[in-house]
């Protein structure tokens, strides 16, 4: 029997190191178990273009873990990431700064606990058939 590929979600992110530069990248998340999301890869936008409009925008909830093979932010190599509690967007984090500037909305914010939900575009491994995850 063929094994099913885990659902894949792409989430637009930005590098927080120099917020003014708005350096973007895309996180690839895999749901390896129900409501267990793994950040598997960061993709540079100019290397692989992801057409976010082709796939439905969905909200994913659960626990978010970072794969041990995750290579970090393609711009500054930070291995962690955060979600802005003002605009909800995602950006890289070096794991030490207690106060950061969101590279999406430029608000200064204190680092808070865990990410519980994210919005991204869903597709399966073949990239052909979008699935509906939230019903």
Cβ atoms of residues 93 and 111 within 8 Å: yes
Other CB atoms closer than 10 Å to residue 99's CB: what's the count?
8
Which of 76, 79, 115, 133 touches Zn ion (CB under 5 A)? 76
In sequence order, what DSSP letters do the residues of the chain get, joined into one string? -PPPPPPEEEEEEE-SSSGGG--EEEEEEEEEETTEEEEEEEEETTTS---GGGS-EEEEESEEEE-TT----TTT---EEEE-TTT--EEEE-S--SEEE-TTT--EEE--S---EEEEEEE-TTSS-------
Find the part of the chain contacting Zn ion (CB under 5 A) among 1-9, 41-49, 99-107, 127-135. 99-107
Q: Does 66 bind Zn ion (CB under 5 A)?
A: no
Nearer to Zn ion, 8 or 73 (CB): 73
Q: Does 60 bind Zn ion (CB under 5 A)?
A: no
Nearer to Zn ion, 7 or 74 (CB): 74
Find the part of the chain contacting Zn ion (CB under 5 A) among 42-50, 77-85, 114-122, 123-131. 77-85
Find the part of the chain contacting Zn ion (CB under 5 A) among 41-49, 55-63, 98-106, 113-121. 98-106
Find the part of the chain contacting Zn ion (CB under 5 A) among 34-42, 46-54, 102-110, 127-135. 102-110
Cβ atoms of residues 99 and 110 within 8 Å: yes
Q: Does 39 bind Zn ion (CB under 5 A)?
A: no
Contact positions vs Zn ion (CB under 5 A): 15, 17, 73, 75-76, 78, 84, 86-87, 92, 102, 104-105
């Amino acid at each position: 029997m063929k094994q099913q590929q885990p659902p894949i979600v792409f989430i637009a992110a930005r590098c927080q190191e120099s917020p003014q530069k708005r350096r973007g990248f895309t996180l690839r998340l895999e749901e390896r178990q129900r409501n267990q999301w793994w950040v598997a890869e960061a993709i540079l936008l100019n290397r692989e273009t992801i057409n976010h409009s082709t796939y439905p925008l969905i909200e994913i909830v659960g626990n978010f873990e970072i794969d041990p093979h995750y290579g970090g932010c393609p711009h500054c190599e930070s291995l962690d990431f955060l979600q802005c509690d003002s605009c909800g967007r995602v950006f890289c984090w070096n794991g030490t700064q207690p106060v950061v500037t969101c590279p999406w909305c430029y608000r200064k914010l204190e680092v808070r606990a865990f990410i519980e939900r994210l919005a991204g575009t869903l597709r399966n491994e073949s990239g052909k058939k979008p699935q509906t995850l939230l019903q």
